[in-house]
A and B are shown apart, each in its own frame.
Chain A
Amino acid sequence: MSLLALQLFRRWETLLVVLLIAFIVLGSTLSPFFLSGSNFSDLTGNLMEKAIMALPLALIIIAGEIDLSIESVLGLSSALLGFTYALGWPLWLDIPLVLVVGAMGGLLNGLLVTRAGLPSLVVTLGTLALYRGLASVVLGPRSVGGWPEWFTNFGFGDVPGTLIPWPLVVFAVLAFAFLFVLHRTWIGRQIYAIGKNKEAARYSGIDVAKVKTYLFILSGVLAALAGVILTARFSSARADNGQGFVLDVVTSVLLGGVNIFGGEGTIVGVVLAIFVIGVLRNGLTLADVSPDTQSVAVGALLILSVAGPTLVRRITAARPRRQLTSPVSNS
Chain B
Amino acid sequence: MSETSPVLRLTGISKRFGAVQALTDVDVALFANEVHALVGENGAGKSTLVKILAGIHQPDAGRIQLSGEDLVLSGPAAARDLGIAVIHQHPNLFPDLTVAENVFVGRLPRNGVRGVDWGELNRTAQRLFENLGVKQSVSVPVRGLSVADQQLVEIAKSLSLDARVLVMDEPTASLSSHEVERLFTIIRQLRGRGVAILFVDHRMEEVFEIADRVSVLRDGRHVITAPINELNPAEAIRHMVGRRLETLFPKEQATIGEIALEVRGLTRRGVFSNASFQVRRGEILGLAGLVGAGRTEIARVLFGIDRADAGEVLVAGKHAEIKSPKDAMRLGIVYVPEDRHAQGLVLDFSIAANVSLPIVERLSRLLVVDRVQERQIATDYSKQLQVRSTGVEQVASGLSGGNQQKVVLAKWLATKPTVLLLDEPTQGVDIGAKAEVHRIISQLAGQGMAIVLISSELLEVLGMADRIVVLHEGRVAAEFARDDATQERVMAAATGHVEA
Q: Let me know if A320 and B18 touch, CB within 8 A.
A: no
A263 to B347 alpha-carbon distance, docked (Å): 11
CB of B329 closer than 8 Å to a CB of A: yes
CB of A325 closer than 8 Å to a CB of B: yes
Q: Let me know if B346 and A325 touch, CB within 8 A.
A: no
Interface string of B346-385 (1 = CB under 8 A from A): 1111000100111011011001110000000000000000
* Residues on the A chain within 8 Å of B353, using CB: 189, 193
Chain B residue with the shortest CB-CB distance to A263 = B348
Q: Let me know if A204 and B357 touch, CB within 8 A.
A: yes
CB of A329 closer than 8 Å to a CB of B: yes
Q: Let me know if A327 and B357 touch, CB within 8 A.
A: no
Chain B nearest CB: distance from A143 CB in Å?
Answer: 42
Chain B residue with the shortest CB-CB distance to A324 = B398
Q: Let me know if B361 and A204 touch, CB within 8 A.
A: no
CB of B446 closer than 8 Å to a CB of A: no
* Residues on the B chain within 8 Å of A207, using CB: 324, 326
Interface string of A181-200 (1 = CB under 8 A from B): 10011110110110011011
User: Which of B342, B356, B388 has a CB less than 8 Å from the CB of A331?
Assistant: B388
* Residues on the A chain within 8 Å of B390, using CB: 328
A190 to B430 alpha-carbon distance, docked (Å): 31
User: Which of A181, A187, A189, A196 has a CB less than 8 Å from the CB of B348?
Assistant: A196
Q: Let me know if B325 and A205 touch, CB within 8 A.
A: yes
A320 to B349 alpha-carbon distance, docked (Å): 13
* Residues on the B chain within 8 Å of A185, using CB: 364, 367-369
Chain A residue with the shortest CB-CB distance to B415 = A205
A328 to B18 alpha-carbon distance, docked (Å): 11
CB of B397 closer than 8 Å to a CB of A: yes
CB of A128 closer than 8 Å to a CB of B: no
Given A196-B348, A327-B18 in contact, is the A181-B367 Cβ separation under 8 Å?
Answer: yes
* Residues on the A chain within 8 Å of B305, using CB: 202-203
A315 to B462 alpha-carbon distance, docked (Å): 49
* Residues on the A chain within 8 Å of B349, using CB: 192-193, 196
A207 to B397 alpha-carbon distance, docked (Å): 24
Given A186-B367, A328-B398 in contact, is the A206-B18 Cβ separation under 8 Å?
Answer: no
Interface residues of B in 316-362 (CB under 8 A from A): 324-326, 328-329, 335, 337, 342-349, 353, 356-358, 360-361
Q: Let me know if B399 and A327 touch, CB within 8 A.
A: yes
* Residues on the A chain within 8 Å of B357, using CB: 189, 193, 200-201, 204, 206
CB of B40 closer than 8 Å to a CB of A: no
Interface residues of A in 103-121 (CB under 8 A from B): none
CB of B395 closer than 8 Å to a CB of A: yes
* Residues on the B chain within 8 Å of A328, using CB: 388-390, 394, 398-400, 403
* Residues on the A chain within 8 Å of B363, using CB: 186
Chain B nearest CB: distance from A196 CB in Å?
Answer: 5
Interface centre among A184, A205, A207 (most CB of B within 10 A): A205
Q: Let me know if A200 and B399 touch, CB within 8 A.
A: no
Chain A nearest CB: distance from B454 CB in Å?
Answer: 15
* Residues on the A chain within 8 Å of B329, using CB: 205
Considering only CB atoms and an 8 Å cut-off, how many residues of chain B contact the other chain? 44
Interface string of B416-447 (1 = CB under 8 A from A): 00000000000000100100000000000000
Chain B nearest CB: distance from A323 CB in Å?
Answer: 4
A174 to B368 alpha-carbon distance, docked (Å): 17
A207 to B394 alpha-carbon distance, docked (Å): 26
Interface string of B286-305 (1 = CB under 8 A from A): 00000000000000000101
User: Which of A189, A202, A329 has a CB less than 8 Å from the CB of B400?
Assistant: A329
A162 to B334 alpha-carbon distance, docked (Å): 57
* Residues on the A chain within 8 Å of B356, using CB: 189
Chain A residue with the shortest CB-CB distance to B366 = A185
Q: Let me know if A184 and B400 touch, CB within 8 A.
A: no
Q: Let me know if A184 and B324 touch, CB within 8 A.
A: no
CB of B19 closer than 8 Å to a CB of A: yes
Q: Let me know if B398 and A200 touch, CB within 8 A.
A: no
Given A186-B363, A186-B369, A189-B357 in contact, is the A197-B398 Cβ separation under 8 Å?
Answer: no
Chain A nearest CB: distance from B80 CB in Å?
Answer: 30
Q: Let me know if B398 and A320 touch, CB within 8 A.
A: yes
Chain A residue with the shortest CB-CB distance to B404 = A327
A317 to B273 alpha-carbon distance, docked (Å): 47
A189 to B355 alpha-carbon distance, docked (Å): 12
CB of B281 closer than 8 Å to a CB of A: no
Chain B nearest CB: distance from A185 CB in Å?
Answer: 4
CB of B402 closer than 8 Å to a CB of A: yes
* Residues on the B chain within 8 Å of A199, using CB: 342-343
A320 to B411 alpha-carbon distance, docked (Å): 23
Q: Let me know if A329 and B388 touch, CB within 8 A.
A: yes
* Residues on the B chain within 8 Å of A181, using CB: 367
A324 to B341 alpha-carbon distance, docked (Å): 14
A196 to B353 alpha-carbon distance, docked (Å): 12
Chain B nearest CB: distance from A171 CB in Å?
Answer: 21
Q: Let me know if B342 and A200 touch, CB within 8 A.
A: yes
User: Which of B328, B367, B411, B430 has a CB less than 8 Å from the CB of A187?
Assistant: B367
Q: Let me know if A200 and B344 touch, CB within 8 A.
A: yes
* Residues on the A chain within 8 Å of B326, using CB: 205, 207
Given A186-B361, A202-B325, A204-B358 in contact, is the A196-B346 Cβ separation under 8 Å?
Answer: yes
Chain B residue with the shortest CB-CB distance to A325 = B18
A51 to B394 alpha-carbon distance, docked (Å): 35
Q: Let me know if A197 and B345 touch, CB within 8 A.
A: yes
Q: Let me know if A329 and B403 touch, CB within 8 A.
A: yes
Chain B nearest CB: distance from A202 CB in Å?
Answer: 7
* Residues on the B chain within 8 Å of A186, using CB: 360-361, 363-364, 367, 369
Given A189-B357, A328-B398, A329-B402 in contact, is the A200-B368 Cβ separation under 8 Å?
Answer: no
* Residues on the A chain within 8 Å of B394, using CB: 328
* Residues on the A chain within 8 Å of B337, using CB: 203
A73 to B335 alpha-carbon distance, docked (Å): 41
Q: Let me know if A323 and B346 touch, CB within 8 A.
A: no
Interface residues of B in 40-85 (CB under 8 A from A): none
Chain A residue with the shortest CB-CB distance to B348 = A196
Chain B nearest CB: distance from A264 CB in Å?
Answer: 8
A254 to B249 alpha-carbon distance, docked (Å): 51
Chain A nearest CB: distance from B361 CB in Å?
Answer: 5
A331 to B380 alpha-carbon distance, docked (Å): 19
Given A202-B325, A203-B325, A329-B403 in contact, is the A193-B346 Cβ separation under 8 Å?
Answer: yes
The 7 lowest CB-CB distance pairs between A and B, nearest first, are: A185-B367, A327-B400, A186-B360, A204-B357, A205-B325, A323-B398, A186-B364
A-B contact pairs, 11 of them (CB 8 A): A184-B368, A185-B369, A186-B363, A199-B342, A203-B303, A204-B325, A263-B348, A323-B398, A324-B398, A328-B403, A329-B400
Q: Which residues of B contact A (CB under 8 A)?
A: 18-19, 303, 305, 324-326, 328-329, 335, 337, 342-349, 353, 356-358, 360-361, 363-364, 367-369, 388-390, 394-395, 397-400, 402-403, 411, 430, 433
Further pairs besides A186-B363, A203-B337, A327-B403: 20, Cβ < 8 Å: A189-B360, A190-B360, A193-B346, A193-B349, A193-B357, A197-B342, A200-B357, A203-B343, A204-B411, A205-B329, A320-B398, A324-B397, A324-B398, A327-B399, A328-B388, A328-B394, A328-B398, A328-B399, A329-B402, A329-B403
